[in-house]
Structure 1
Amino acid sequence: MSTHITAAAEDIRSTDAEQLIKELSQELGALYDSDGSAGFQPSDVEVPRSAFIIARLNGHPVGCGALRPLDEETVEVKRMYTRSGFRRQGVAQAILAEIERLAEDFGYSRIKLQTGPKQPEAAALYERVGYYRIPIYHGDWDRVLAYQKDIQPKPSVKTR
């Protein structure tokens, strides 16, 4: 059976989105002894120049990611998640590719994200696809791993 991964912006209030976010929060909560929300609210991606991405494998929801604005030039990746049975199959890369495409379309020049030290696979993925380490830019937990990728915004969308 061939596999076809798609990643596209969808409604964060959908059943699939809510289920993926719930699973991610439970996984992060168990890893870090927290609520697992990482300071994210659905309303973070219900503003202009933001989006919630769902990855689907043959139509079945298998992962998600979000981009939320930090400032005019910078967008942040949040809620990156791939269901455990679908990891290492290109799901996260498909989500990141769509996030980067949308960030360019929205006119951003930088993408930032933070991950935790108990997620070495995530850190390795970000480094593999061109993100580089930067100082922590949000929060006060000193063990956070922060990353950035510089991109070329689409000039026609750039606000003046």
Structure 2
Amino acid sequence: MGNIQLRQVMPDHADLAALIQKLDADLLNRYPEGEIFGLNFDDPKINEVEFLVAYSDEVPVGCGAIRPLDHESTELKRFFVEQAFRQQGIAKQILIELETRAKELGFKSIKLEAGAPQPEAIRFYKKHGYYEIDRYGEYVTCESSLCYEKRILEGV
């Protein structure tokens, strides 16, 4: 593994788009198309989403984002690490950076959605303190959705 650098990028960044395309291809191998919940990049609120791209020796290898849900909660979205770069701590670095940023922005919790076809993701999130919650928001009616949350500010 090379030197990993995390960079905040704009929603229209080419490296982010390439990684999201790979993420979507992976998800289409696991879920029916109607059960993939991405982000609408044409929505004016897309600029409220903070995106990170992880680089290994200047090669984009992973990404993640936080999207505000309300004044207390943000949501982890578009979290992905290239297959060849998994199990090297990159996902952990992205997650820690996004959690730190969410704290800086004053959010009390981070929520996320995954599903049984992503057992490695579920193990990862549980290992990092996320616990299962009831489905929320756009996931309420999706039977394959498993939702998780982590409280990130003490005393809340």
Name the SS of the counterpart of 1:32 in structure 2: coil
Q: CA deviation at 1:36?
A: 7.3
Residues 45 and 100 of structure 1: CA distance in aligned 2, closer, same or farther (over 3 Å): farther
Partner of 2:101: 102
CA distance in 1, matches of 2:4, 2:129: 21
Partner of 1:157: none
Quick check: 2:66–2:98 contact (8 Å CA) kept in 1?
yes
Partner of 1:91: 90
Question: Could you report, residue by residue, the CA deviation over 1:61-99 in whole angstroms, capped at 9, with x for unpaired residues?
Answer: 101011000000000001001111111111111110111
Unaligned runs of 5+ in 1: 154-160
Amino acid at match of 2:51: F
CA distance in 1, matches of 2:20, 2:38: 12
CA distance in 2, matches of 1:28, 1:10: 23
Question: Could you report, residue by residue, the CA deviation over 1:14-38 in whole angstroms, capped at 9, with x for unpaired residues?
Answer: 1101101111111111211216751
Partner of 1:158: none
Q: How does 1:116-127 map to 2 (within 5 A)?
A: 116-127=115-126
Unaligned runs of 5+ in 2: none
CA RMSD between the two structures:
1.7
CA distance in 2, matches of 1:93, 1:122: 11
Quick check: 1:21–1:79 contact (8 Å CA) kept in 2?
yes
Residues 146 and 37 of structure 1: CA distance in aligned 2, closer, same or farther (over 3 Å): closer
CA distance in 2, matches of 1:141, 1:13: 28
Please say if 1:149 is aligned against 2:150.
yes
TM-score, normalised to structure 1's length? 0.87
Q: Percent of aligned pairs with the same residue?
A: 35
Name the SS of the counterpart of 2:5 in structure 1: strand
CA distance in 2, matches of 1:8, 1:147: 25
